Amino acid sequence: RRWPALARAMVRPMARQAHAGKMVEQFIKSMAPADAEILKQPYVADAMSASLAECFRQGPGPPTWDGVAVARGEAIPLERIRTKVLIWHGLDDRNVPVAMAREQERRLPYVKARYYSGEGHLIFFSRIEEILSELVAPAT
Protein backbone atom coordinates (compact mmCIF):
# COMPACT_ATOMS: atom_id res chain seq x y z
CA ARG A 1 0.00 0.00 0.00
CA ARG A 2 2.78 2.46 0.88
CA TRP A 3 5.59 1.24 -1.35
CA PRO A 4 4.27 0.42 -4.85
CA ALA A 5 7.83 0.24 -6.21
CA LEU A 6 8.60 -2.52 -3.72
CA ALA A 7 5.42 -4.34 -4.77
CA ARG A 8 6.55 -4.18 -8.40
CA ALA A 9 9.91 -5.71 -7.45
CA MET A 10 8.05 -8.52 -5.69
CA VAL A 11 5.76 -9.13 -8.68
CA ARG A 12 8.53 -9.13 -11.30
CA PRO A 13 9.73 -12.70 -10.44
CA MET A 14 6.13 -13.89 -10.63
CA ALA A 15 5.89 -12.46 -14.15
CA ARG A 16 9.03 -14.37 -15.16
CA GLN A 17 7.61 -17.58 -13.69
CA ALA A 18 4.30 -17.05 -15.48
CA HIS A 19 6.00 -16.55 -18.86
CA ALA A 20 8.16 -19.61 -18.28
CA GLY A 21 5.11 -21.70 -17.39
CA LYS A 22 6.48 -22.38 -13.89
CA MET A 23 3.89 -20.58 -11.80
CA VAL A 24 1.41 -23.46 -11.71
CA GLU A 25 4.13 -25.66 -10.21
CA GLN A 26 4.59 -23.09 -7.44
CA PHE A 27 0.84 -22.94 -6.84
CA ILE A 28 0.64 -26.72 -6.46
CA LYS A 29 3.20 -26.47 -3.64
CA SER A 30 1.49 -23.61 -1.80
CA MET A 31 -2.25 -24.05 -2.29
CA ALA A 32 -4.68 -26.13 -0.27
CA PRO A 33 -4.61 -29.88 -0.97
CA ALA A 34 -7.97 -29.70 -2.81
CA ASP A 35 -6.53 -27.00 -5.10
CA ALA A 36 -3.31 -28.93 -5.72
CA GLU A 37 -5.35 -31.92 -6.89
CA ILE A 38 -7.33 -29.73 -9.29
CA LEU A 39 -4.14 -28.13 -10.64
CA LYS A 40 -2.64 -31.55 -11.34
CA GLN A 41 -5.27 -32.10 -14.03
CA PRO A 42 -3.52 -31.26 -17.34
CA TYR A 43 -6.38 -29.25 -18.86
CA VAL A 44 -6.64 -27.12 -15.69
CA ALA A 45 -2.88 -26.62 -15.45
CA ASP A 46 -2.67 -25.62 -19.12
CA ALA A 47 -5.58 -23.18 -18.82
CA MET A 48 -4.18 -21.67 -15.63
CA SER A 49 -0.72 -21.35 -17.13
CA ALA A 50 -2.10 -19.57 -20.21
CA SER A 51 -4.22 -17.29 -18.03
CA LEU A 52 -1.25 -16.35 -15.85
CA ALA A 53 0.96 -15.67 -18.86
CA GLU A 54 -1.76 -13.37 -20.23
CA CYS A 55 -2.05 -11.61 -16.89
CA PHE A 56 1.61 -10.63 -17.13
CA ARG A 57 1.73 -10.13 -20.93
CA GLN A 58 2.24 -6.38 -20.52
CA GLY A 59 4.79 -6.87 -17.75
CA PRO A 60 4.49 -6.70 -13.98
CA GLY A 61 3.04 -3.16 -13.91
CA PRO A 62 -0.71 -3.81 -14.38
CA PRO A 63 -0.94 -6.71 -11.89
CA THR A 64 1.15 -4.71 -9.42
CA TRP A 65 -1.15 -1.70 -9.61
CA ASP A 66 -4.17 -3.95 -9.25
CA GLY A 67 -2.71 -5.31 -6.01
CA VAL A 68 -1.78 -1.82 -4.81
CA ALA A 69 -5.34 -0.61 -5.46
CA VAL A 70 -6.76 -3.51 -3.45
CA ALA A 71 -4.31 -2.87 -0.61
CA ARG A 72 -5.25 0.80 -0.55
CA GLY A 73 -8.95 0.00 -0.48
CA GLU A 74 -9.64 1.68 -3.82
CA ALA A 75 -12.84 -0.07 -4.72
CA ILE A 76 -16.53 0.53 -5.23
CA PRO A 77 -18.26 0.50 -1.83
CA LEU A 78 -19.96 -2.89 -1.68
CA GLU A 79 -23.04 -1.34 -0.07
CA ARG A 80 -23.73 0.49 -3.35
CA ILE A 81 -24.00 -2.67 -5.45
CA ARG A 82 -27.70 -3.21 -6.09
CA THR A 83 -27.68 -6.45 -8.05
CA LYS A 84 -27.77 -9.96 -6.66
CA VAL A 85 -24.30 -11.32 -5.93
CA LEU A 86 -23.55 -15.01 -5.51
CA ILE A 87 -20.51 -16.18 -3.53
CA TRP A 88 -19.07 -19.69 -3.49
CA HIS A 89 -16.06 -19.94 -1.20
CA GLY A 90 -13.86 -22.82 -0.11
CA LEU A 91 -13.10 -22.76 3.60
CA ASP A 92 -9.59 -24.08 2.88
CA ASP A 93 -8.76 -21.24 0.46
CA ARG A 94 -5.19 -20.05 1.14
CA ASN A 95 -5.33 -17.25 -1.46
CA VAL A 96 -8.44 -15.37 -0.33
CA PRO A 97 -9.24 -15.74 3.38
CA VAL A 98 -12.79 -16.79 4.21
CA ALA A 99 -12.99 -13.68 6.42
CA MET A 100 -12.85 -11.58 3.24
CA ALA A 101 -15.79 -13.46 1.71
CA ARG A 102 -17.77 -13.18 4.93
CA GLU A 103 -17.08 -9.43 5.05
CA GLN A 104 -18.33 -9.09 1.47
CA GLU A 105 -21.40 -11.11 2.39
CA ARG A 106 -22.03 -8.81 5.35
CA ARG A 107 -21.71 -5.62 3.29
CA LEU A 108 -23.52 -6.58 0.08
CA PRO A 109 -27.24 -5.79 0.22
CA TYR A 110 -28.36 -8.65 -2.07
CA VAL A 111 -26.10 -11.63 -1.58
CA LYS A 112 -26.31 -15.39 -1.38
CA ALA A 113 -23.18 -17.07 -0.07
CA ARG A 114 -22.16 -20.70 0.20
CA TYR A 115 -19.10 -21.96 2.02
CA TYR A 116 -17.59 -25.41 1.55
CA SER A 117 -15.37 -27.40 3.84
CA GLY A 118 -12.55 -29.25 2.08
CA GLU A 119 -12.60 -26.82 -0.87
CA GLY A 120 -10.04 -24.18 -1.75
CA HIS A 121 -9.50 -21.27 -4.11
CA LEU A 122 -10.27 -23.27 -7.25
CA ILE A 123 -13.79 -24.13 -6.14
CA PHE A 124 -15.04 -23.15 -9.60
CA PHE A 125 -13.59 -26.36 -11.03
CA SER A 126 -14.98 -28.70 -8.37
CA ARG A 127 -18.40 -27.01 -8.22
CA ILE A 128 -18.79 -26.04 -11.89
CA GLU A 129 -22.16 -27.73 -12.45
CA GLU A 130 -23.68 -26.23 -9.31
CA ILE A 131 -22.32 -22.76 -10.07
CA LEU A 132 -23.43 -22.71 -13.71
CA SER A 133 -26.87 -24.10 -12.81
CA GLU A 134 -27.38 -21.31 -10.31
CA LEU A 135 -26.15 -18.66 -12.73
CA VAL A 136 -28.60 -19.68 -15.48
CA ALA A 137 -31.55 -20.39 -13.17
CA PRO A 138 -34.49 -17.99 -13.47
CA ALA A 139 -34.27 -15.13 -10.98
CA THR A 140 -36.52 -15.48 -7.97
* Predicted confidence band of residue 140 (pLDDT cuts 50, 70, 90): low
Supply the pLDDT for residue 12.
Answer: 84
pTM for this prediction: 0.79
* Predicted confidence band of residue 123 (pLDDT cuts 50, 70, 90): very high
Q: Output the DSSP codes for 26-95.
A: HHHHHS-HHHHHHHTSHHHHHHHHHHHHHHTTT-SHHHHHHHHHHHHT-S--GGG--S-EEEEEETT-SS
Helical packing angle, 42-55 and 4-20, nearest 10°? 140
Note the pLDDT tens digit of each residue in 1-56: 666 677 777 788 888 888 777 888 888 888 999 999 999 999 999 998 998 889 88
Average pLDDT over the chain reads 88
* Predicted confidence band of residue 129 (pLDDT cuts 50, 70, 90): very high
Burial (CB count <10 Å: 0-12, 13-18, 19+), residue 52? buried
Note the pLDDT tens digit of each residue in 51-106: 888 988 888 888 888 878 877 777 789 999 999 999 999 999 998 899 999 999 99
* Predicted confidence band of residue 139 (pLDDT cuts 50, 70, 90): low
